[in-house]
Structure 1
Amino acid sequence: MSRSGPRSRSIRRPLVRPLVRAALLTTVGMLALSGCGGDEAGPRLELSAALPDTPADGTVLRVGDPATQVALETSGLIDELDVEVEWANITGGPKTLEAFRADAIDIGSVADIPPLFAHWTGTDVRIVAARETVEPETHPTYALGVAPGVEVRTIEDLKGKKIAYSPGQAQGALVLNVLREAGLTQDDVEFVEMQSVDDAFSVALASKQVDVAPLGQTLVKTYLAKYEVDGATAIDPGVRDDAWTLYTPTTVLEDADKAAAIKEYVGVWAQAQQWISDHPDEFAEAYYVDHEGLSPEDAAYVVDALGEFTVPTSWDDFIARHQETVDTLVEAQDQEPLDVATLYDRRYEKAIAAAVEGS
């Protein structure tokens, strides 16, 4: 078995690009296969062909998913991987998409919005795995952070407020869904467009550039720890926000060796998500304390807030909810209509089901 040790790349902050309407998906047979990361490309694989079981020796899969890396290493599940993995310390939609465009990684871990904007801005991608929360109603992924001195106790109180808005990220869709749930429209609030990278939203709240911003649970605790004394608060968004995906450029899936490597990876990835749910204290220590630098108390808060994960072995319901999100974005942002099922490579649905049922 060959396997690389953990590696990290320094990827520059993404450039701000105007949104453009998506072109129609290019016919599979017209796509040109390019080499990945300087490696010699494997045999060409049609997107409709069965997935190979085994990649060629020396195939390297470049993965941007530090949380799963830590889970695999801590649990020992990494020993189940025969494929060589080169890890990149890349998270979030903008950084992952830029890494795809720079041919720096093969697969990324993001919420459900980045694959849509990759498609709408001209990068052909496919979703190869999905994850959701066991109890999404009581374990939201995000909270709505409220700036010091601003009174927002319910989502209806968002009327007239300045809200941080990231159109190409899950946080942007969350804001739109929250407004709909509250019976409000975009005309009832003021959007302040910015990317939710690093702690940009926390800084914007603290400096009162915005009144409200969606914050991941990792940031909620640190934001309140710093600014609650000044009057900062946070509220539950009141809408489901737990969709998570693995996605990859279509050109990667047209490389038979890379496609086979991903087949193996998603099976072990699914087991890692279950391990995270079954061992929250160990994961909190290994990832949130040792990797992310949170205190043990804050790490425990985050894993408790996020709850348990599950990896569906049938994607029907997940895709249906994703389509509802697409329709919201099409209406609110004037995006090109999209049948989101075309972005899912359901060959991997079967591979994940086999891995989960056999574990």
Structure 2
Amino acid sequence: MASRDTSDFSNTLAGLSLSDPARRALLKAAAASAATFAAGALFAAQGAQTQSSGKTLRIGFQKYGNFVVLKARGTLEKRLAAQGTSVQWLEFPAGPQLLEGLNAGAVDIGTVGETPPIFAQAAGVDFVYIGNEPPAPNGEAIVVPHDSPIRSVADLRGKKVGLNRGSNVHFLLVKALQHAGLSYADITPVFLTPADARAAFVQNSIDAWVIWDPYLAAIERQANARVITNGEGLVRNTQYYLAARKFADAQPQLLRELLAELEQVDRWSRDHILAVAGQLSPLVGLDAPTLELALNRASYGVQPIDAAMLDYQQQIADTFTELKLIPKKLVVADAKWRAV
């Protein structure tokens, strides 16, 4: 995945001037992509040293979400201590990088949006879907500067649109363009991490940004960004829990314990938005009101993977196959957890 990202960076750079801040941001992101690829070797070495035998559950998480709440509350550690199992938390900047860690053997389980698993399965990562949160379509959007002449998705023709390649918003962009009568070829995608995309956005080096919460809430509140569309009626924006297949086959009861604890944290979080915002604020580096906005758009309640969710993921996979963004047709159901 990292090598294809670097190629996409090169293609995008060709369309930017030498002085363009977006070019400098892309060069930085390309370097980060290469670093991520190199980090795979480190992950593999770590994985070889700490391969889980049921005594340690290694969880990949991102800086926002219910895994952060679960980690802060410490309830999973207490639940698993009785079984002689400890918990190791590994932070990643986004879903694609987290799945690199899982592929390298450094992570047993992680949580990502709906698109990263598609790119990961296409790259041969051996994982299974073990659960999901309900859809949260309002938690991601396409935004433009408040004074931009762009009023709708149709106005994006010929524009530079920033996004994290292979993230959940990649599918939102494709569906929004289709709904507006545009094709993916009608815009210039600029692949940037959220931090670099925000910098390019506020410097007007990109015309629009496709982003998810809490980055979405932050740019709305801090820079008065204007939403031209969100996922409502276009995509589900589902959060998935994935596990390395070998680990899931070997430790099904441990994963059930984790999902049960997540369900309890979800129920608590749904009824205590203000408390969760206050708890996350120092960990995420965002003020509580911004997090409240994001949390009120989130979904709560762990669900088992069913046929409808697999069919939805298959739609995403087929879409990216048609766009030649993944090299072959996938059978998403091959990644279903078949625990008894």
Q: Do they superpose with TM above 0.5?
A: yes
Question: Residue 206 of structure 2 aligns with which residue?
Answer: 210
Shift, 1:68, TM fit: 3.2
* Structure 1 Cα separation of the partners of residues 148 and 72 of structure 2: 42
Residue among 262, 270, 276 paired with 2:269: 276
Q: Which runs of 5+ in 2 are unaligned?
A: 1-30, 38-44
Q: Deviations over 1:16-64 (max 9, x none)?
A: 899xxxxxxxxxxxxxxx994524664xxxxxxxxxxxx5xxx101101
Question: Residue 234 of structure 1 aligns with which residue?
Answer: 227
SS in 2 for 1:105: coil
Q: Deviations over 1:245-272 (max 9, x none)?
A: 1112323335x2x444223212222332
Output the amino acid matched with 1:236.
Answer: T
Give the stretch that moved more between structures: 332-341 or 147-156: 147-156
1:69–1:175 CA distance, 2 compared to 1 (3 A) = closer
Shift, 1:187, TM fit: 2.8
Question: TM-score scaled by structure 2?
Answer: 0.76
Q: Deviations over 1:283-307 (max 9, x none)?
A: 11112x121121122122221233x
Question: Residue 81 of structure 1 aligns with which residue?
Answer: 80
Is residue 13–residue 95 contact of structure 1 (8 Å, CA) maintained in 2? no
Question: TM-score scaled by structure 1?
Answer: 0.72
Is residue 220–residue 234 contact of structure 1 (8 Å, CA) maintained in 2? no
Question: Residue 337 of structure 2 aligns with which residue?
Answer: 345
Residue among 300, 303, 306 paired with 2:292: 300
* Structure 1 Cα separation of the partners of residues 129 and 179 of structure 2: 28
Residue among 238, 245, 248 paired with 1:250: 245
Question: Residue 309 of structure 1 aligns with which residue?
Answer: 300
Question: Residue 15 of structure 1 aligns with which residue?
Answer: 34
1:91–1:247 CA distance, 2 compared to 1 (3 A) = farther
* Structure 2 Cα separation of the partners of residues 60 and 175 of structure 1: 38
* Structure 2 Cα separation of the partners of residues 334 and 89 of structure 1: 27
Output the amino acid matched with 2:279.
Answer: A
1:248–1:338 CA distance, 2 compared to 1 (3 A) = same
Question: Residue 181 of structure 1 aligns with which residue?
Answer: 179
SS in 2 for 1:15: helix
**How many residues were matched structurally?**
294
Shift, 1:191, TM fit: 2.0
Output the amino acid matched with 1:299.
Answer: L
Question: Residue 320 of structure 1 aligns with which residue?
Answer: 311
Alignment of 1:83-122 (within 5 A): 83-122=85-124
SS in 2 for 1:213: strand
Output the amino acid matched with 1:332.
Answer: L
* Structure 2 Cα separation of the partners of residues 17 and 36 of structure 1: 16
* Structure 2 Cα separation of the partners of residues 337 and 272 of structure 1: 37
1:293–1:166 CA distance, 2 compared to 1 (3 A) = closer
* Structure showing greater relative contact order (alpha-carbon pairs closer than 8 Å, 6 or more residues apart): 1
1:284–1:165 CA distance, 2 compared to 1 (3 A) = closer
Is 1:329 the equivalent of 2:317? no
Shift, 1:165, TM fit: 4.0
Question: Residue 23 of structure 2 aligns with which residue?
Answer: none
Shift, 1:175, TM fit: 0.7
Is residue 142–residue 241 contact of structure 1 (8 Å, CA) maintained in 2? no
1:186–1:314 CA distance, 2 compared to 1 (3 A) = closer
1:283–1:214 CA distance, 2 compared to 1 (3 A) = same
Is residue 144–residue 215 contact of structure 1 (8 Å, CA) maintained in 2? yes
Residue among 144, 147, 155 paired with 1:146: 144
Output the amino acid matched with 2:264.
Answer: Q
* Structure 2 Cα separation of the partners of residues 17 and 89 of structure 1: 13
Is residue 130–residue 305 contact of structure 2 (8 Å, CA) maintained in 1? no
Is residue 148–residue 208 contact of structure 1 (8 Å, CA) maintained in 2? no
* Structure 2 Cα separation of the partners of residues 298 and 35 of structure 1: 36
Calculate the aligned-residue CA RMSD, in Å. 2.9
Alignment of 1:34-49 (within 5 A): 36-39=47-50, 42=53
1:40–1:155 CA distance, 2 compared to 1 (3 A) = closer
Residue among 220, 223, 246 paired with 2:219: 223
Question: Residue 21 of structure 2 aligns with which residue?
Answer: none
